[in-house]
Chains A and B, each alone.
Chain A
């Protein structure tokens, strides 16, 4: 079938294989059908008429979309876009993203329903009614503090699941920005969801609609839009490519990861006694491999903790991958085992992760995690 892939993009892969060790699913399986090089070859074969068998479908479904293969690729193959387009084409044929997955994503764009549902889930989780493999935190909040606007220097994008499950991170981030002397407008329900999970599943039409909704709501002025979830930030920075309009390009250029933006303003934060913690930085893939601004996390954290340590696994994915950990629990667990081993070698007190999916996935694996903004806010004493 026609996957509607750009032949030049497909051809840019020369099969050198340099991506292989950077791919988390290849690392844990050693199977070429679980590798970027293999998946690209399968895209070519399908594009040229080979049938989409169950095994081909699995090869595509098992991609975490961490995009660690992209910086490793000397030929600059746009793998993430190829995979998203492949999934979009397969979804359009009804080959992927079954109805239950579509249904599951729907509430993401419905903030009130999402929060209500989350509260029920929180009660259920506490009562241990949710199977452990779903990775739902036991301490999910039943009630959340209200968002308040403190000024109009920057937007803070609050999003969907994160707002329902980890609103405390938003609040920590907001307090830190305020401590640096800026006024913050949380976006709240006017921009309910970035559409990242939908795009990963190939439901690109949903993503486009959400992108347009967000752009309409946040384009009254040109202030920066700060994002404290690496996955959301990566998706929003890609709106230019997604929508292909000049407006979208302009909008995407206003999007910053919160650490990325703060790295330029870290001197404006007060001098305080650092937290007495040895902190390992776990780089969310969409911060390191897609946005490529992961060094900012270190710049921002360094003054506020006793010690920063690096993991020795070359930024390999933790296995969270948005909905991946729910859709491919076994693979996600194997990948997490590798990451946990790397964390154990670094012997930190806590792991700083700038992405809610990663931190929940790692927490479910027994790793103590905190968002960098929460650590900084604690050091500043603003929580």
Chain B
């Protein structure tokens, strides 16, 4: 916008798409400037190459629908965006799409205790929801490490996990219904708050769709009762293998803790520097185990985990003595990824799942692979689910480092698949793992996934270029990337 336009209050940008968007929102909620677009081109992942179109800040379902209709008229792709904390590049805009930020749709609409459900808008922060619910005796169970930032809409798109999903299940077990603006502009309610909504489980298919199936504008989340008793144990081990074996043995013993998290020594040192929670920095690995339930049972299970840990050579078993101590331990675990910037300016956080009995073997391979590629690796992971998060540290300014990091990452993925695992436990595929999809699925398998996608979005309007690899429709990345960019593009 030129000075003259500013002075005269004219809002024409010379861009028909932006003009039409401004007509359905308001001028101040459609941003076309370079600064905004530069920031919208990124999320929390290491992936670049995004190019954002106009950024919109709708405040209602009707506005999202209006944006979607403008997109359809202009045949423009769209990408929904929550807090931009994704690590697989799922929110990176490809094909200069309209970026639809759901940040301003951040109201908790209704807490319905009788039906054990809360209706929320997609921009509500995960932790804010639980903080609001907790005094009423409930919480929202999925607790990704980014829970203080990430939004429910993002959780739905990624089918997010978190440490406490071991006992409670990931996001899709906690979403009862979703109001969705489909890529053609239709507004539909998927699922319902009744016990067994009839018809195809389109709600279940939508959760985890990574923004490619439409935009969630209202979400019915299940309320989980707060546990009457919680026990938190911190076990120290002289080797990562001992910690991993303890995890396998706990699960095999029929105990289902609320969370079983392992951190290796390197990450424990970084975390301890940040939170000062009293994590033992001399242990090769620590296991954070949490048991939730009724008073007597949590003590029984804590005692059994203690025994299993000691049988596997635990050098120390500490029990959190207060809520403060417990919260500090968890703060350490949940800020682990950020804390590593103390050690290197860049990191690449992987996310694979292996059978729990294969944890120790795969971890050994992870260290070996990283060594061979001359990359520093740290491990912090949801051990109870077999969900590994190898963290590769590097400095992108060093020539050639990123290539080594990607090579090591690819080998780690293959080691996980060889052990009978999968590509992602909670971060999703995004742009990160498309090229590996063919190592887990046949063409026919992926073709069927595409059938699901096209059922929601026959024209590939929503978040194109994600999830399915090139060669499948809606995934022609080269073409999506061939959008001209200028300064601030």
Contact = CB atoms under 8 A, between A and B. Distances in A.
A32 B99 CA distance: 12
Nearest to B101: A30
Given A12-B341, A51-B488, A75-B341, A30 B36 contact: no
Contacts of B146: 16-18
B34 A53 contact: yes
B341 A32 contact: no
Contact of B341 (A14, A42, A50): A14
A375 interface: no
Contact of B338 (A14, A32, A53, A59): A14
A15 B48 CA distance: 13
Nearest to A19: B149
Place the interface of chain A in its size category. Answer: 20 to 34
B487 interface: yes
B66 to A, nearest CB: 18
Nearest to B332: A74
A18 B149 contact: yes
Nearest to B135: A312
A5 interface: no
Contacts of B487: 50-51
B84 interface: yes
B149 A74 contact: no
Contacts of A119: none
A20 B83 contact: yes
Nearest to B99: A32
Contacts of B106: 30
Given A16-B338, A38-B39, A74-B274, A50 B123 contact: no
A75 B339 contact: yes
Given A11-B345, A51-B488, A73 B103 contact: no
A344 interface: no
Nearest to B38: A45
A72 B334 CA distance: 12
B85 interface: yes
A8 B397 CA distance: 11
A239 B171 CA distance: 49
Contacts of B125: 21
Closest 4 CB pairs of A and B: A30-B103, A74-B338, A75-B341, A74-B335
27 contacts: A14-B341, A16-B44, A16-B146, A17-B146, A18-B335, A21-B125, A21-B127, A21-B148, A30-B57, A31-B57, A32-B36, A32-B101, A33-B39, A38-B39, A41-B39, A41-B42, A45-B38, A55-B33, A55-B34, A55-B36, A56-B34, A59-B35, A74-B336, A74-B341, A75-B341, A76-B274, A77-B341
Interface of A: 8, 11-18, 20-21, 29-33, 38, 41-42, 45, 50-51, 53-56, 59, 72-77, 312
Interface of B: 31, 33-36, 38-40, 42-44, 57, 83-85, 101, 103-104, 106, 123, 125, 127-128, 131, 146, 148-149, 274, 335-342, 345-347, 397, 487-488
